[in-house]
């Protein structure tokens, strides 16, 4: 209550943030949204559902987990008052209870959820395979994916890790990982197209690129980088072979503006390539006779074949560019002339075609050549007489090209001399190696001093001085020489190749700005020169660089020119930072780089044949397969083209939001323990050792093996499977999880049974365990069934050795209880892994500022089970403590109720309601059916002939309008549908598309918006149940689509509007039972502002809690109980009626009337009206007849022991020895259930005794110690303190308790010694069963069911743990099942939340799809009364069966059973079903059979 | 019965489980013969003998109720 006071007088916000989309988060959100609070729900994954969605079946009912959770997913995904944000993380939380400000980051999905129809075309074309973690990595999925088929929101997502290093490093930012992935997939055309999106020269760069991408390639960290360059060369070669050249499509409208480009090198051609795509007309002016610039005149032909060069340049010509060669800028054309010719922009990309001089004596002598001039002349095929001996000066790539060209031009001896040491040479290593292969003599560390000339003034040699250092201390180029050591080199020709310069003749004069290093001055980002319409780029701007740099520059130039012409800001958004990510590398297998085959060195002489052969297809695929998929999504953009709904957007970025909420509920869940560290279990290196969650996926029908039980290594059906319990639980050796994970024993039980069911042959299942912990409701019986009926072997032993043996089997060695060593071979081992904390949730706790406990779960107190350490922040689910689904659901509801306690005054303030137009009265109208057939992109239309189906629909009776569309669910189509309904006076709508399960509510909403009753709607499932399953047979799919449409139309003719009736509700609640559960329930409801009647048949509030001393966490119960009683007694909204019992009750959800009888001196009758009821009638301790109880005074029950402790009973201080016997009255034939709390109680009492008298000998005689969850800590501590645990069993080792003259003697066989031991305890404590209080009449009065053990039966064992199947009645506490105090409190608060989902509004809508009785036909045979699974029908006073629309679940069972046909289920009437059935078999005239 | 005989099968499926399972078969692109048609019912308990007989009368060769 302290919490509530905090918010008084302050503005509280009527919304709640729920973090986590597992079952706990879903339940909390639904409860909140249904009780008047707006919910912001976040989930870090792309869909909600959590671990529950991954499970196959649920225990103890063996229901399909997905079937159970799926309706909740849909409800949550569509709820008007739940804002579901997937891929969202919490960044910051400020404020306080009642008013928090939360900053969120919603990561990019890369798919627009509003447009995505979940058709899956994106995944079909995605080339990236990545482990499907929903299937625990047992199979792969694509980077474009839906988490699982039923996932909500029903939309795909694209998973990106970030930009791959290759793409980020490539100056042109080509989607390298993308084209590699496409090569891997054999989609070469697509790969090439992708490359050409960002780079016009796959073949040229495939030969000459200096591939900076390869130096950052992550594969480099494993072995060698991928041969990225060779791979795109392969694509170009492949294209060339195919004879079909890809020319980028020009989608832009043609434009009038002309652009002039000076220079046809890579920069100029690239700029043209992109400008053309924008629609401009482009002219390239080239001084030399052929286009290509340095690619043609600087790179030797043996490296870059001229035909290929010409072809790649010719692409721009084919795109529409004009290339004018032999035109010199400065003389033939000038800026002025260009302007006069109407060019709107000019791009100067003139290159560096001049050399640099050494500046030493006699450099102008004949026989001294410039490298670039020499290469140009060689390229042009000029005859050059070099003589026999050639000396090349320079150590860069050009120098090597010069040397190798000289050799090919006939020089016998070529010597390359450079300043740098071998390792310092600026040339690329592979070029140097090629030079060495070409027998070029490389001499290092010499700088030229002077040229020798002969008599004819021709050069004859060159003198060199020793270079002692090339770079100075600062790393700058500043050569130091040792002139004392000089050496002459003689040759016929000396070629200087030490750098390049640009030729500025005729350029300076035009006012073009000049600067270093390339010569032209321009803005580094926009490339604009001081003359605004002139841009400059390429080598002439930035100095000598590679082709790929030129491409990058050309692209930027094109962008700037486009912006300039359109008057846009030239700089806006231009400076993108390219960060990249690397994948986490595990143990990656070495795959050596595929070597490129080359021309034999001997065959290279005197010719210019291409040296490198490139890859063939096989080599390319082998190489592509080495890619580590750094970015995950490769950005190949195939999905963009495949998505007809245009939903894919690779440019999406994270969205940052700020929301305001009154409270926060955390339900981030858990992570299954990763058993890799358990080296002895061989999990990481043996495929047939799987985790339990992997086993769930193996068993699941939607899992990797479609539910066929096979093992991963060879898909063989296993014959023997072993389960190991407590992997990552109750273990501090290999994990630091000392706690029990609570659920593993039961899921293992379930898996053994389901595995047996799935197995076609006899399956041997063995479970290796320590204690079998089946402490939940109906669990013990399940365990007994597994053991006794199904023959599951339960072996109480820890397997110490697992050896992989032949045939992928596993040999296990273990020691039995009898001490015998057994060796057994299994096909498969399942590790029952525990529920470990999430790394995510640990971070979340930090962001939220809440405390975690020592196990890294949220710290909570027993008496405030869902409150975190920060007021206003609540927790539920496995984040709080490992627990099963019903417990999570219960606490989720409890968290919802507790969180909103302080927000009650803001209830309803933020919820959204929908304004609807009045409904059109269609009564008496002939059916006018409109049929809409959906293409679903190509999902339906690509298989079935949709126009044919549409035309066919037009021939069906009552159909007045037909149409088909690409996506019926898209917003524009929905709007159109509304118009069409009005225009054609349609009064029944049939949509033939996907599944009504997912889309019916949406279409119903649409027709309702158009004024039609939402039930005037029918769907034909022609996608999920037709084109998706008959995709290989289009004709049959078309025929079946027609059949399904005909059936839907036939039913549509008979459907009627249904009207839900508004029912006023009484906002008062009756709580039966004044124990802790009843009081917590009453208080919770009252705090929400509702009147409560709390009735207690006894004369004291508090129930059994009065007998409890402390909680298991050590909190004293008494002060809590006293305060609770006081708060209940003093609450203005609670009326407590003591000594009172309900004697009569009538009514339905929202409107009950109950008569209460109060005893006393006289009987008093009170009649109360209430909208809901909570039954919390409690339980009690079993009074034993076993073990001399009531015969020997020193035999006590737990409560008696607690009382003795409270009273400081002298027997406690004198006792030297105390024994406990567990399971007294529990887990027996008469009472086959576990009482859940006695193990913890015993251990706690034992520890208290030990604390009081450390010398006392304490023995616990147990069957299985069931200290689940963090209670395991107590058990661990007890053993540490020397408390002795001796196991007994019912079969042959029942403790024998005797009384010898008042002295107790207990004999039992010790399970370790395997010998009988006799104990003589001074006190014997019996841990007796928990029984429900007897309330047969009361339960009958409220018509609530009980199970064989007398406990109340919930509506659904998993997801409705506090509801009865009768609406409006809820349960809490021991009447439901034995449970500890914290669980009772949680369940009571959960019942508050459930009550509020009904009573938070003044009225509720009832009716719709419900059964209706025709009184005239009813023969009062009570068949319906007996049939109804929910016990709704009754015989009313008028003498016929009555089915309350507010109560009816609409299952229709009574309708089918009624012999008089007196009941009809609305919307599923016999007439409608028969019409639909008959329609299948009636063929239209002219239709083929 | 000739070799090309193809039975017409009608299935009444509960919307919560069997109908959802049929959708799942679609999501997983599992093929089955196209002469199976599904009618959704709110619960398999709704299926009346009348519906089964109507189907047989119309020419169904097999009817199943799944839920």
pLDDT tens digits, A563-615: 999 999 999 988 888 899 998 887 788 999 999 988 888 887 777 888 889 99
The answer to whether B39 contacts A1476, with C-beta atoms less than 8 Å apart, is yes
- What's the DSSP call for residue A809? E
Q: What is chain A's alpha carbon radius of gyration, rounded to the nearest angstrom?
A: 41
Residue A1485: pLDDT band (50, 70, 90) is very low
DSSP string, A1425-1446: HHH-TT---EE-TTSSEE--TT
CA-wise closest residue to A200 among A305, A303, A295, A298 = A295
> Cα–Cα distance between A1212 and A1245 in angstroms, integer?
12
Q: How many CA atoms lie within 13 A of A336 on its CB side?
A: 8
By the CB < 8 Å criterion, does A603 face chain B? no
The answer to whether A1478 contacts B54, with C-beta atoms less than 8 Å apart, is yes
Q: Which residues of A touch B23 (CB under 8 A)?
A: 995, 997, 1021, 1024-1025
Is the bond leading into A60 cis (omega within 30 degrees of zero)?
Answer: yes
- Do A587 and A676 form a contact (C-beta atoms < 8 A)? no
> Cα–Cα distance between A399 and A403 in angstroms, integer?
6
Q: Which of residues 1428-1467 of A touch B (CB under 8 A)?
A: 1429, 1450-1453, 1455-1456, 1465
Residue identified by tokens 């640990």 is A842
**Is the Cα torsion angle A1374, A1376, A1379, A1383 positive or negative in sign?**
negative
| Smallest CA–CA distance from B35 into chain A, residue | A1040
DSSP E strands in A350-429: the ranges are: 354-355, 368-370, 389-393, 413-417
B25, B41, B47 ranked by CB distance to A1029: nearest = B25
Per-residue pLDDT, averaged over A86-102, amounts to: 97
* Kind of pairing between the strands at A459-471 and A446-453: antiparallel
B16, B28, B58 ranked by CB distance to A71: nearest = B16
A1466 to chain B, minimum CA–CA distance in Å?
A: 11
Segment B5-64, tens digit of pLDDT: 889 999 999 998 899 899 989 988 889 999 999 999 999 999 999 999 999 999 999 999
Per-residue pLDDT, averaged over A1090-1107, amounts to: 96
Q: Which residues of B touch A1451 (CB under 8 A)?
A: 42-43, 45-46
| Smallest CA–CA distance from A1036 into chain B, residue | B34
Segment A278-309, tens digit of pLDDT: 999 999 999 999 999 999 999 999 889 999 99
User: What are A1065's strand-pairing partners?
Assistant: none
Which are the contacts of A387, defined by CB distance < 8 A and separation ≥ 6? A367, A411, A491, A492, A493
- Do A198 and A679 form a contact (C-beta atoms < 8 A)? no
CA-wise closest residue to A273 among A324, A232, A315 = A315
B23, B45, B50 ranked by CB distance to A1452: nearest = B45
**Is residue A1 scored above 60 in pLDDT?**
no
Kindly provide the ipTM of the predicted complex, given to two decimals.
0.97
The answer to whether A149 contacts B24, with C-beta atoms less than 8 Å apart, is yes
Residue identified by tokens 């976040």 is A42
Segment A491-527, tens digit of pLDDT: 999 999 998 888 777 787 888 877 766 678 899 999 9
| Residue A980, token pair as written in the block | 């069409």
The answer to whether A1028 contacts B41, with C-beta atoms less than 8 Å apart, is no
B19, B28, B59 ranked by CB distance to A149: nearest = B28
DSSP string, A439-497: T-EEE-SEEEEEEEE-TTSBEEEEEEEEEEEEE-TTS-EEEEEEEEEEEEEE-SEEEE-
pLDDT at position A4:
40
B24, B46, B60 ranked by CB distance to A1456: nearest = B46
> Cα–Cα distance between A1324 and A1261 in angstroms, integer?
10
Q: Which of residues 27-86 of A touch B (CB under 8 A)?
A: 64, 66-67, 70-71
- Do A1173 and A1148 form a contact (C-beta atoms < 8 A)? no
pLDDT at position B28:
82
Strand order across the A655-661 sheet? A88-96, A99-106, A655-661
Q: Within 10 A of A353 (CB to CB), how many other CB atoms are there?
A: 22
Per-residue pLDDT, averaged over A1255-1284, amounts to: 97
Please give the residue that has the higher pLDDT: either A695 or A1061.
Answer: A695
Q: What is chain B's alpha carbon radius of gyration, rounded to the nearest angstrom?
A: 13
* Kind of pairing between the strands at A1134-1137 and A799-805: unpaired
Residue identified by tokens 């599904």 is B38
pLDDT, averaged across chain A: 93
| Smallest CA–CA distance from A1019 into chain B, residue | B40
By the CB < 8 Å criterion, does A1037 face chain B? yes
Q: Which of residues 697-726 of A touch B (CB under 8 A)?
A: 701-702, 706
**Is residue A636 scored above 80 in pLDDT?**
yes
Q: Which residues of B touch A121 (CB under 8 A)?
A: none
> Cα–Cα distance between A393 and A416 in angstroms, integer?
6
By the CB < 8 Å criterion, does A1039 face chain B? yes
| Smallest CA–CA distance from A148 into chain B, residue | B27
| Residue A1464, token pair as written in the block | 């009809």
A997, A1023, A1451 ranked by CB distance to B45: nearest = A1451
A1476 to chain B, minimum CA–CA distance in Å?
A: 8
| Smallest CA–CA distance from A1018 into chain B, residue | B40
The answer to whether A1451 contacts B54, with C-beta atoms less than 8 Å apart, is no
Segment A145-200, tens digit of pLDDT: 999 988 999 999 999 999 999 999 999 999 999 999 999 999 999 999 999 999 99
Residue A1486: pLDDT band (50, 70, 90) is very low
- Number of inter-chain CB pairs under 8 A, A vs B: 133
Percent of chain A with pLDDT over 70: 99
The answer to whether B58 contacts A1032, with C-beta atoms less than 8 Å apart, is no
Per-residue pLDDT, averaged over A1296-1315, amounts to: 92
By the CB < 8 Å criterion, does A1365 face chain B? no
Phi, psi of A1041 (to 5 degrees): -60, -40
pLDDT at position A1484:
43
* Kind of pairing between the strands at A446-453 and A655-661: unpaired
Q: Which residues of B touch A1030 (CB under 8 A)?
A: 31, 34
Which one of A702, A939, A999, A1029 would you mutate to disrupt binding with B, by most B Cβ within 10 Å of its Cβ? A1029
Phi, psi of A387 (to 5 degrees): 80, -165
Segment A732-758, tens digit of pLDDT: 888 889 999 999 999 999 999 999 999
The answer to whether A149 contacts B34, with C-beta atoms less than 8 Å apart, is no
Per-residue pLDDT, averaged over A934-943, amounts to: 89
B2 to chain A, minimum CA–CA distance in Å?
A: 16
- What's the DSSP call for residue A1024? I
**Is residue A1020 scored above 60 in pLDDT?**
yes
C-alpha distances (whole Å) from A1176 to each of A1075, A1079, A1136, A1172 are 7, 9, 14, 13
The answer to whether A1477 contacts B48, with C-beta atoms less than 8 Å apart, is no
User: What are A493's strand-pairing partners?
Assistant: A390
> Cα–Cα distance between A71 and A51 in angstroms, integer?
16
Which one of A1481, A1487, A1488, A1489 would you mutate to disrupt binding with B, by most B Cβ within 10 Å of its Cβ? A1481
By the CB < 8 Å criterion, does A132 face chain B? no
A1471 to chain B, minimum CA–CA distance in Å?
A: 10
CA-wise closest residue to A1372 among A1358, A1347, A1393, A1341 = A1393
By the CB < 8 Å criterion, does A1480 face chain B? yes
A215: left (phi over 0), alpha (psi -120 to 50) or beta: alpha
**Is residue A336 scored above 90 in pLDDT?**
yes
| Residue A1196, token pair as written in the block | 């006590």
Alpha-carbon A284 to chain mean position: 51
CA-wise closest residue to A141 among A251, A230, A47, A35 = A47
pLDDT at position A996:
92
Is the bond leading into A517 cis (omega within 30 degrees of zero)?
Answer: yes
Per-residue pLDDT, averaged over A319-324, amounts to: 96
The answer to whether B26 contacts A1023, with C-beta atoms less than 8 Å apart, is yes
CA-wise closest residue to A839 among A854, A851, A856, A853 = A856
Residue identified by tokens 């949220």 is A858
Which one of B48, B61, B63 would you mutate to disrupt binding with A, by most A Cβ within 10 Å of its Cβ? B48
Using a CB–CB cut-off of 8 Å, the residues of B that contact A are 8, 10, 15-17, 19-32, 34-35, 37-43, 45-51, 54-55, 58-60
The answer to whether A64 contacts B42, with C-beta atoms less than 8 Å apart, is no
**Is residue A111 scored above 50 in pLDDT?**
yes
Q: Which residues of B touch A71 (CB under 8 A)?
A: 16
Residue A1311: pLDDT band (50, 70, 90) is confident
- What's the DSSP call for residue A400? H
> Cα–Cα distance between A612 and A433 in angstroms, integer?
13
H or E element in which residue A1141 lies:
strand A1140-1148
B9 to chain A, minimum CA–CA distance in Å?
A: 10
Q: Which residues of B touch A1410 (CB under 8 A)?
A: none
DSSP string, A521-545: ---TTT-B-SSTTEEE-SHHHH-S-
pLDDT at position A66:
87
The answer to whether A1474 contacts B51, with C-beta atoms less than 8 Å apart, is yes
Residue A672: pLDDT band (50, 70, 90) is very high
Residue A1483: pLDDT band (50, 70, 90) is low
- What's the DSSP call for residue A742? S
Q: Which residues of B touch A1023 (CB under 8 A)?
A: 26
Residue A72: pLDDT band (50, 70, 90) is very high
- Do A718 and A807 form a contact (C-beta atoms < 8 A)? no
| Smallest CA–CA distance from A1033 into chain B, residue | B34
| Residue A284, token pair as written in the block | 């390239």
Segment A781-792, tens digit of pLDDT: 999 999 999 999
């Amino acid at each position: 209550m302290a919490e509530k006071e905090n918010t008084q007088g302050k503005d509280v916000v009527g919304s709640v943030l729920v973090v986590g989309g597992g079952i706990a988060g879903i339940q909390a959100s639904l409860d909140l949204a249904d009780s008047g609070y707006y919910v912001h729900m976040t989930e870090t994954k792309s869909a909600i559902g959590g671990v529950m969605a991954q499970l196959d079946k649920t225990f103890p009912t063996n229901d399909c987990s997905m079937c159970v959770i799926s309706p909740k997913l849909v409800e949550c995904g569509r709820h008007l008052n739940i804002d579901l944000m997937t891929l969202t993380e919490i960044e910051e939380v400020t404020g306080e209870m009642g008013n928090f400000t939360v900053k969120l980051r919603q990561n990019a999905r890369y798919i627009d959820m509003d447009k995505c129809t979940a058709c899956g075309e994106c995944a079909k074309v995605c080339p990236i395979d990545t482990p499907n973690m929903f299937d625990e990595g047992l199979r792969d999925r694509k980077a474009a994916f839906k988490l699982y088929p039923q996932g909500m929101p029903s939309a795909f997502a694209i998973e990106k890790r970030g930009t791959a290093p290759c793409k980020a490093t490539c100056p042109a930012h080509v989607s390298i990982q993308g084209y590699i992935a496409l090569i891997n997939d054999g989609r070469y055309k697509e790969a090439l197209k992708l490359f050409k999106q960002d780079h016009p020269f796959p073949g040229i760069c495939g030969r000459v690129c200096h591939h900076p991408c390869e130096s950052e390639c992550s594969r480099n960290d494993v072995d060698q980088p991928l041969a990225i360059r060779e791979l795109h060369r392969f694509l170009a070669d492949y294209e060339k072979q195919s004879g079909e050249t890809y020319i980028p499509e020009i989608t832009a409208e043609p434009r009038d503006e002309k652009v002039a480009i000076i220079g046809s090198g890579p920069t100029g051609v690239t700029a043209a390539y992109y400008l053309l795509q924008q629609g401009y007309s482009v002219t390239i002016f080239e001084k030399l006779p052929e286009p290509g610039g340095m690619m043609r005149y600087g790179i030797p032909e043996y490296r870059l074949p001229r035909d290929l060069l010409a072809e790649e340049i010719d692409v721009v010509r084919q795109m529409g560019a004009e290339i004018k060669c032999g035109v010199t800028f400065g003389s033939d054309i000038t800026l002025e002339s260009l302007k006069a010719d109407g060019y709107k922009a000019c791009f100067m990309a003139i290159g560096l075609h001049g050399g640099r001089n050494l500046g030493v004596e006699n450099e102008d002598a004949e026989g001294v050549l410039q490298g670039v001039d020499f290469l140009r002349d060689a390229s042009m095929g000029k005859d050059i007489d070099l003589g026999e001996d050639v000396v090349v000066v320079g150590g860069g790539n050009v120098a090597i090209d010069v040397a190798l060209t000289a050799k090919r031009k006939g020089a016998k001896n070529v010597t390359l001399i450079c300043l740098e040491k071998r390792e310092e040479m600026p040339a690329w290593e592979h070029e140097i190696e090629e030079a060495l292969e070409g027998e070029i003599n490389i001499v290092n560390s010499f700088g030229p001093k002077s040229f020798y000339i002969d008599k004819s003034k021709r050069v004859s040699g060159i003198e060199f001085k020793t270079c002692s250092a090339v770079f100075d201390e600062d790393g700058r180029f500043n050569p130091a020489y040792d002139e004392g050591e000089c050496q002459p080199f003689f040759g016929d020709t000396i070629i200087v190749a030490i750098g390049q310069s640009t030729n500025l003749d005729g350029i300076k004069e035009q006012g073009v700005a000049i600067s270093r290093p390339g010569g032209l001055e321009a803005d580094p980002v926009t490339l604009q020169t001081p003359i605004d319409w002139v841009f400059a780029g390429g080598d002439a701007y930035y100095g000598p660089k590679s082709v790929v740099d030129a491409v990058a520059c050309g692209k930027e130039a094109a962008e700037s020119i486009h912006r300039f012409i359109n008057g846009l800001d030239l700089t806006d958004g231009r400076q993108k930072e390219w960060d990249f990510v690397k994948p986490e590398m595990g143990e990656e297998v070495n795959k050596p780089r595929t070597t490129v085959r080359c021309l034999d060195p001997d065959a290279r002489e005197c010719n210019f044949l291409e040296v490198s052969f490139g890859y063939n297809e096989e080599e390319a695929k082998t190489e592509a397969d080495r890619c580590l998929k750094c970015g995950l999504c490769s950005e190949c953009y195939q999905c963009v083209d495949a998505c007809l709904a245009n939903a894919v957007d690779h440019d999406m970025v994270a969205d940052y939001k700020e929301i305001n909420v009154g409270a926060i509920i955390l339900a981030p869940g858990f992570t299954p323990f990763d058993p890799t560290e358990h080296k002895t279990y061989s999990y990481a290196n043996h495929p047939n050792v799987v985790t339990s969650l992997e086993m769930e996926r193996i068993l699941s029908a939607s899992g990797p093996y479609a539910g066929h039980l096979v093992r991963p290594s060879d898909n063989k059906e296993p014959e023997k499977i072993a389960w190991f319990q407590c992997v990552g639980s109750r273990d501090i050796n290999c994990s630091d999880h000392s706690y029990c994970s609570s659920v593993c024993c039961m899921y293992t039980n379930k898996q053994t049974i389901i595995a047996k069911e799935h197995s076609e042959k006899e399956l041997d299942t063995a479970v290796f365990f320590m204690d079998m912990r089946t402490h939940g409701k109906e669990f013990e019986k399940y365990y007994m069934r597994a053991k006794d009926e199904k023959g599951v072997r339960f072996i109480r032993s820890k397997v110490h050795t697992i050896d992989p043996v032949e045939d992928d089997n596993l040999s296990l060695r273990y020691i039995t209880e009898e001490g015998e060593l057994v060796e057994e071979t299994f096909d498969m081992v399942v590790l029952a892994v525990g529920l470990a904390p999430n790394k995510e949730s640990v971070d979340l706790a930090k962001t939220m500022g809440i405390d975690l406990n020592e196990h890294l779960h949220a710290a909570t107190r027993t008496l405030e089970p869902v409150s975190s350490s920060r007021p206003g922040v609540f927790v539920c689910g496995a984040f709080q403590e490992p627990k099963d689904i019903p417990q999570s659901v219960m606490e989720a509801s409890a968290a919802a109720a507790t969180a909103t306690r302080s927000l009650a005054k803001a209830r309803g303030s933020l919820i959204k309601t929908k304004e609807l137009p009045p409904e059109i009265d269609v009564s008496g109208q002939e059916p006018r059916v409109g049929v809409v057939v959906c293409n679903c992109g190509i999902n339906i239309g690509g298989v079935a002939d949709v126009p044919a189906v549409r035309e066919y629909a037009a021939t069906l009776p009552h159909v007045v309008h037909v149409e088909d569309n690409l996506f019926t669910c898209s917003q524009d189509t929905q709007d159109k549908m509304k118009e069409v309904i009005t225009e054609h006076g349609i009064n029944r709508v049939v949509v033939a598309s996907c599944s009504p399960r997912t889309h019916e509510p949406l279409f119903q909403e649409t027709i309702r918006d158009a004024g039609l009753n939402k039930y005037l709607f029918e769907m034909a499932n022609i996608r999920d149940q037709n084109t998706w399953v008959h995709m290989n047979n289009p004709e049959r799919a078309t025929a079946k689509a027609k059949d399904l449409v005909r059936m839907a139309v036939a039913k549509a003719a008979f459907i009627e509007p249904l009207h839900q009736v508004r029912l006023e509700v009484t906002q008062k609640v009756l709580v039966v039972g004044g124990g802790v559960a009843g009081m917590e329930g009453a208080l919770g409801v009252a705090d929400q502002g509702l009147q409560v009647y709390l009735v207690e048949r006894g004369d004291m509030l508090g129930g059994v809690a009065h007998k409890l001393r402390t909680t298991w966490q050590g909190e004293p119960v008494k002060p809590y109980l006293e305060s609770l009683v006081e708060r209940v007694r003093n609450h203005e909204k609670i009326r407590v009626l003591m000594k009172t019992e309900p004697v009569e009750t009538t009514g339905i959800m929202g409107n009950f009337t109950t008569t209460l009888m109060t005893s006393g001196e006289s009987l008093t009758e009170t009649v109360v009206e209430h909208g809901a009821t909570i039954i919390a009638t409690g339980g009690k301790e079993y009074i034993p007849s076993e073990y001399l109880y009531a015969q020997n005074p020193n035999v006590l029950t737990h409560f008696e022991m607690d009382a003795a402790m409270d009273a400081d009973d002298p027997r406690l201080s004198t006792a030297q020895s105390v024994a406990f016997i567990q399971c007294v009255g529990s887990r027996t034939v008469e009472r086959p259930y576990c009482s859940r709390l006695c193990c913890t109680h015993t251990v706690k009492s034992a520890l208290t005794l030990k604390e009081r008298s450390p010398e006392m000998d304490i023995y616990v005689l147990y069957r299985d110690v069931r200290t689940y969850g963090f209670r395991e800590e107590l058990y661990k501590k007890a053993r540490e303190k020397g408390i002795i645990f001796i196991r007994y069993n019912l079969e042959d080792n029942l403790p024998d308790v005797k009384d010898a003259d008042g002295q107790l003697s207990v004999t039992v066989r010790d399970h370790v010694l395997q010998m009988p031991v006799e104990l003589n305890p001074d006190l014997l404590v019996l841990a007796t069963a928990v029984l429900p209080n007897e309330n047969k009449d009361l339960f009958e009065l409220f018509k609530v069911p009980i199970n064989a053990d007398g406990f109340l039966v919930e509506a659904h064992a998993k997801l409705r743990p506090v509801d009865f199947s009768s609406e409006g009645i809820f349960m809490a506490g021991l009447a439901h099942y034995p449970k500890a105090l914290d669980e009772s409190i949680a369940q009571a608060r959960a019942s508050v939340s459930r009550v509020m989902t009904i009573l938070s509004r003044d009225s509720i809508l009832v009716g719709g799809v419900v059964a209706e009785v025709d009184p005239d036909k009813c023969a009062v045979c009570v068949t319906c009364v007996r049939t109804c699974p929910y016990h709704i029908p009754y015989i009313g006073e008028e003498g016929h069966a009555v089915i309350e629309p507010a109560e009816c679940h609409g299952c229709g069972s009574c309708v089918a059973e009624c012999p008089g046909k007196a009941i009809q289920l609305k919307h599923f009437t016999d007439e409608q079903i028969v019409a639909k059935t008959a329609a299948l078999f009636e063929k239209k005239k002219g239709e083929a059979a | 019965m000739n070799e090309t005989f193809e039975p017409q099968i009608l299935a009444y499926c509960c919307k919560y489980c069997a109908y959802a399972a049929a959708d799942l078969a679609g999501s997983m692109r599992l093929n089955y013969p196209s002469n199976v048609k599904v009618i959704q019912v709110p619960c398999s308990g709704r299926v009346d003998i009348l519906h089964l007989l109507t189907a047989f009368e119309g020419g169904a060769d097999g009817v199943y109720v799944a839920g």
